[in-house]
Amino acid sequence: MKTLADLNKGYSAEIEWIDTSGPGVLRLMMLGLVEGAAVRHRGTAIGGDPLELSVYGASISVRREQARYFKVNGNAAEASSGLIP
Amino acid sequence: MSKPGPGEPQGQTETSIPLSSISIRHRPRHRYAVIGNPNSGKSTLFNRLTGLRQTTGNYPGVTVERHTGTVELKGTAAELIDLPGIYALGGQSTDERIAVDALLGRIDSKPDGLLVVVDATHLYQGLYLLEQLIELQLPMLVALTMSDMARAGGIAIDTDLLSRHLGGIAVVEVTATTGLGVSDLKSELATLHEAPVPVIGQSWPELSQLAQQLADQCGNLDRMDVIQALLLPGGAHDQLASAAMGPDVIPGARNELFGSEPPQAVEARQRYRWAREVRSAVQHEAPLLERFGAKVLAWVNRPWPATALFFLSLVLVFQAVFSWATPLMDAIDAGAAGLGAWVTASLGNGVVASFLADGIIAGVGSVIIFLPQILILFLFIIILEDTGYLARAAFLMDSAMRRVGLSGQSVIPMLSSFACAVPAIMATRVIPDRRDRISTILASPFMTCSARLPIYALLIAAFVPNQSVGWFNLQGLVLFGLYLLGIAGGLMTARLMKSTALRGPKPHFMLALPDFRRPNLQTVMIKLMDRARIFLKRAGTVIFSVAVIVWALAYFPRMDTEAPLPEPVNGQSLENQRAAAQMSQSYLGRIGKVVEPVFEPLGWDWKVSSAVIAGFPAREVVVAVMGTLYAVGSEADEGSLTQKLRAATWPDGRAIFTLPMVLGLMVFYAWCLQCAATVAVIRRETNSWRWPLFAWTYMSAVAYLGAFAVFQVGSLLTGPA
Ligand SMILES: Nc1nc2c(ncn2[C@@H]2O[C@H](COP(=O)(O)OP(=O)(O)O)[C@@H](O)[C@H]2O)c(=O)[nH]1
């Protein structure tokens, strides 16, 4: 199953299921990464890690290994760029 | 600014009202807490509302900073309490706990209402916090900030509809940076105390109802107390509730609400679903045209360009600190020297003249000179902070920090340590893991803070030739090397701690990245003035007192002027010989001789050793003390400190300030924890004496060994001095 870590840059997808036992996952949920939220991959630092994700206008930086706890639905779509998705 | 004592009633911050003031000033009658997400524009709005009527003190009984201000309203006034910026009420970081404690009236009396700051471009997260706050059952008012940014981004928000979704809370659109909408906000604030309590939260009515029911049953707990107990098993409220209601009630309710899921996950899911729905109902987004600015940002926001830009901006900062400040510093220097000469000329050579010229002007003045440099450095750091760039740096540097066992979250405190370690150590509060937080705290004082600049600048200007090496200037390179030395010391310390005493699970990293913003002149100026005030206050208190004590110790007891000189040295004026002899039999000279052997392996004479020792409370003092010692020690007052240092010799005529000695001295200075304020803040933030004592001993030892190695190896290489 695809996770947030597998999204390509510029694409967005909806979170379907979260493994809440993962380290730090609860804090990410408090920032708005919850089931049903549409998340866009905005870019990475050098080496591809950490990721910059955005959820309804808010950018959040997350490490790749943490992003794996967030499963997304299969139909990722290319989102329009622009500052606010 | 006066600090209200713990026993004083609120609102008595102004003791006297100038008769000349035309507008009538009112005593604040109500107290409102200002709360919002980090970076929502809360401080900017707070400054806008209260202007200069602000006070910083402590909450009664706890050493947590309490920032308040008074806002003038039509016919009345209110006191505003600025709470830390947070995303949610349930978190466990220090800031989050302070906010909850203040809201519930645990460390302060309960506020009469809440002014909630919501960033219009981040409605999603703002609504989440709002829904949590509604449970407090206090009158509330929402300031929808960044309305200009929202408009520029093609976002329109239906505030009436939003207000209805929030159970009737008034919503006012403002632009804190320009003041647009602030007068509307003020008229709402004037009647906030009588606004109806918002209708029960709609995002998760089951929780609110169950909590209300339990609170009613129990009698002496609020609904919010019960909610906190439900959401945070094992927390302070959980213990309170089980004491009040018996041990089984809360776990039973928890089971009913959350099943086997973690409570916070269920809360996030529930409330954010509601936030998403409300957001799409009230917010209309016009299709955004690709703007030029957005294109540039998108290009810069790629990994390599962004990282390159980050390092480029650091180079620019260091360059600016040295080249821009020089004219201003020269002016202050000339002013101080002229003043000293004038004092000596008009008052002669008595005690008073020496006290003024050598003790105060040469001592404190030699520190004040560095004000322009320090302000330029702070200006850059404040701008980096204000544009949201520091968080961006944390994101870019995360993988590098991982090598030393930390995360990008430690980058923000470490970068602000280039200005001052004290606020930087306070900024570690956002690091959730205690071991990571302490490792960062121990690494921060190694970073080259602005107080180290004076001695570096003095020694580099005096002893490193001003010549170019390829494209670069040798003096600039040495300074850059010293910064690298500090960074290396800090990172190695973090690495060491994380693999020994503070070993723990790999830290995870998450950080909200603010959007890029144009820095706001008013915000930047307020912060800059604040730093200038702190620096001058230090110069006027700590540095001043040390300079006075050192002057007295160096001036007394006076030698019999008729006595024959101990050992005549050829080629020195009689005055200077007499002054040197006077100095070495002064109290300070006698003390210095005792400690001299300890520092002799570093190549330091007793004057340098005493200056360094005097610098332990505040490292800028070292320069002040050298200024005083070398001024008292020469009867002729002409010549800058630089020239006097160059001329200093051992009794046998060898120069004291050789290149290996100077480099060693700078290494010592780079690594030593000479700052009482830092020791105190480590004590406060770690809540024990163990860490500050460890940091002090460890850093002193590392500094001594470093200086020893540099001096000894350097002397071997350059031949006997
Ligand atoms: N364009 C715009 N910028 C703002 C506004 N309010 C604050 N800012 C900027 O947003 C940034 C964060 O503001 P600040 O008050 O420090 O946020 P805080 O972290 O919530 O205290 C600063 O760069 C401010 O200059 C606003 O209404 N419009």
Does the pLDDT of residue B7 top 50, yes or no? no
- pLDDT band at residue B698 using 50, 70 and 90 as cut-offs: very high
Query: Could you tell me the pTM of the whole model?
Result: 0.79
Q: Which two tokens stand for residue B527?
A: 């912060």
pLDDT (tens digit per residue) in B630-661: 776 555 445 677 788 888 888 787 888 888 99
Confidence band of B113 (pLDDT split at 50, 70, 90)? very high
Average model confidence (pLDDT) for chain B?
82
Band of residue B16 on the pLDDT scale cut at 50, 70, 90? very low
* Confidence check: pLDDT of B435 > 70: yes
- Output the six-digit token pair for B679: 């020791």
- CA distance linking residue B701 with residue B679, whole number of Å: 16
Does the beta-carbon distance from B396 to A46 stay under 8 Å?
yes
How confident is residue B23, by pLDDT bands cut at 50, 70 and 90? low
**How many domains is chain A built from?**
1
Give the C-alpha separation, B99 to B269, whole Å.
23
> Is the CATH number 3.40.50.300 carried by domain B27-194?
yes
Q: Which of the residue ranges A61-75, B446-460, B509-523, B576-590 would you say has the lowest mean pLDDT?
A: B576-590
pLDDT band with cut points at 50, 70 and 90 for residue B697: very high
Q: pLDDT confidence of A82, banded at 50, 70, 90?
A: very low
Range A62-74 average pLDDT: 90
**Which range has highest mean pLDDT (B1-5, B140-144, B326-330)?**
B140-144
Chain A interface, best mutation among B130, B403, B510, by max A CB count within 10 A: B510
Q: Mean pLDDT over residues B367-388, rounded?
A: 80
The confidence score (pLDDT) of residue B8 equals: 38
d(CA B272, CA A29): 9
- The whole-angstrom distance between residue B580's C-alpha and the CA centroid of its chain comes to 42
Query: B390 pLDDT exceeds 80?
Result: yes
Taking the C-alpha atoms of residue B439 and residue B494, their distance in angstroms, rounded to an integer, is 5
| Position A30 confidence tier, pLDDT thresholds 50, 70, 90 | very high
3-state secondary structure of B89: coil
pLDDT for B144: 97
Q: Is residue A85, in this structure, part of any structural domain at all?
A: no
Tell me the mean pLDDT in the region B299-310. Answer: 81
Answer yes or no: do B304 and A46 touch at CB < 8 A.
yes
Measure in Å the smallest separation between the Cα of A50 and chain B Cα atoms. 7
A81 with B290: Cβ contact below 8 A: yes
Q: If we measure between CA atoms, which residue out of B89, B86, B133, B88 comes closest to residue B111?
A: B133
CA distances (Å), origin B653, targets B546, B597, B632, B647? 30, 19, 20, 10
Average pLDDT for B567-588: 67
Percent of chain B with pLDDT strictly greater than 70 = 88
Q: How far is A85 from chain B (nearest CA, A)?
A: 10
Distance CA B240, CA B341 (A): 69
The H-or-E segment that residue B715 falls in is helix B690-718
Residues 451-480 of B with CB under 8 A from A: none
- pLDDT per residue over B220-254, tens digit each? 888 888 888 888 888 778 888 888 888 888 888 88
Report, as an integer, the average pLDDT of B272-284: 94
Listed in sequence order, the residues at least 6 apart from B85 whose beta carbon sits closer than 8 Å to its beta carbon are B36, B37, B38, B39, B40, B42, B95
- Write the CA distances from B11 to B20, B52, B351, B538, B622, integer angstroms: 21, 15, 47, 28, 41
Q: Residue B534 and residue B419: Cα distance in Å, rounded?
A: 12
Say what the pLDDT of residue B670 is. Answer: 93
Contact B221, B244 (CB under 8 A): yes
Mean pLDDT, rounded, for B259-274: 92
Higher pLDDT, B313 or A50: A50
Query: Alpha-carbon distance A13 to A5, whole Å?
Result: 11
Average pLDDT over residues A48-77: 87
Q: Is the pLDDT of residue B92 over 80?
A: no
Q: From CA B407, how far away is CA B440, in angstroms rounded?
A: 10
pLDDT at B11 over 50: no
Residue B567: predicted pLDDT: 55
Asked if residue A84 is part of any domain, the answer here is no
Q: At what angle do helices B292-300 and B303-323 cross, to 10 degrees?
A: 90
Q: Looking at mean pLDDT, say which of A13-17, A73-77, B285-289 comes out highest.
A: A13-17
Domain boundaries, chain B: 27-194, 205-285, 303-499, 534-561+572-718
Q: For residue B480, what pLDDT is reported?
A: 82
The mean pLDDT value for B683-705 works out to 92
Cα of B229 to nearest chain A Cα, Å: 17
Going from the C-alpha of B598 to that of each of B589, B602, B613, B654, the distances in angstroms are: 15, 9, 12, 20
* Count of A-B CB contacts under 8 Å: 139
Q: What's the Cα-to-Cα distance from A7 to each of A28, A71, A73, B436, rounded to whole Å?
A: 17, 11, 11, 30
- What CATH code is carried by the domain that includes residue A70? 2.30.30.90
Is B268 in contact with A30 (Cβ distance < 8 A)?
A: yes
User: Which range (B79-83, B375-379, B691-695) has the least confidence?
Assistant: B375-379
Task: Give contacts of A50 with chain B, Cβ < 8 Å.
Answer: 395, 398-399, 408, 509
Residue A10 or residue B128, greater confidence: B128
- Asked if the model's pLDDT at residue B18 lies above 60, the reply is no
Is the distance from CB of B668 to CB of B674 less than 8 angstroms? no
Read off the pLDDT band of B62 (50, 70, 90).
low
DSSP states of B534-584: HHHHHIIIIIHHHHHHHHHHHH-SPPPTTSPPSS--TTS-HHHHHHHHHHH
Helix (H, G, I), strand (E, B) or coil at B205: helix
- Write out chain B residues lying below 8 Å of A59, CB-based: 512-515
Closest CA to B603 of B717, B718, B721, B485: B721
B104-108, B255-259, B550-554, B566-570: which is most confident: B255-259
Mean pLDDT of B13-24: 46
B140-145, strands of its sheet edge to edge: B54-58, B65-73, B76-82, B30-36, B113-119, B140-145, B170-173
pLDDT of residue B233: 83
- Beta strand B510-513 with B472-473 is unpaired
Lowest mean pLDDT among A35-49, B5-19, B73-87, B299-313: B5-19
- Looking at this predicted complex, what is its ipTM? 0.92
| pLDDT value at residue B530 | 81
The pLDDT score that the predictor gives to residue B2 is 39
pLDDT of residue B540: 77
Asked if A1 has any chain B CB less than 8 Å from its own CB, the reply is: no
Whether the per-residue pLDDT at B543 is higher than 80: the answer is: no
Tell me whether residues B268 and A45 touch, CB distance under 8 A. Answer: no
Residue of B nearest to A57 (CA): B122
For the segment B120-146, the average pLDDT, to the nearest whole number, is: 94
Is A65 exposed, middle or buried (CB count within 10 Å of its CB: 0-12, 13-18, 19+)? middle
Which residues touch B648 (CB under 8 Å, ≥6 apart)? B605, B607, B630, B655, B656, B657
Q: Tokens for B351, please give them.
A: 């005690």
SS3 for B656-705 is CCCHHHHHHHHHHHHHCCCEHHHHHHHHHHHCCCHHHHHHHHHHHHHHHH
Distance CA B637, CA B349 (A): 11
pLDDT value of position B541: 78
Q: What is the mean pLDDT of residues B485-497?
A: 93
d(C-alpha B247, C-alpha B481), whole Å = 61
| A31:B408 CB<8 A | no
Q: Which long-range contacts (CB under 8 A, 24 or more apart) does B532-539 make?
A: B532/B371, B532/B375, B535/B371, B535/B374, B535/B375, B536/B368, B536/B371, B538/B618, B538/B620, B539/B364, B539/B367, B539/B368, B539/B620
| pLDDT for position B305 | 84
* pLDDT-based confidence at residue B6 (cuts at 50, 70, 90): very low
Domain, as residue range, for A16: 4-79
Higher-confidence residue of B30 and B511: namely B30
pLDDT of B60: 63
- HEC string for A6-69: HCCCCEEEEEEEECCCCCCHHHHHHCCCCCCCEEEEEEECHHHCCEEEEECCEEEEECHHHHCC
Taking CA–CA distances from A17, the nearest residue in chain B reads B269
Q: Which of residues 24-83 of A touch B (CB under 8 A)?
A: 24-32, 34-37, 42-50, 52, 55-63, 65-66, 80-83
Q: Considering only A15-19, B17-21, B57-61, B699-703, which range has the smallest mean pLDDT?
A: B17-21
Instruction: Quote the CA–CA distance of B477 and B500 in Å, as a whole number.
Output: 34
Higher-confidence residue of B19 and B626: namely B626
The angle subtended at Cα B139 by Cα B135 and Cα B143, nearest 5°, is: 95
Confidence of residue B323 (pLDDT cuts 50, 70, 90): low
pLDDT digits (tens, 9 = 90+) for B343-371: 877 877 777 777 777 777 777 776 777 77
For the cut 90, the answer to whether the pLDDT of residue B536 exceeds it is no
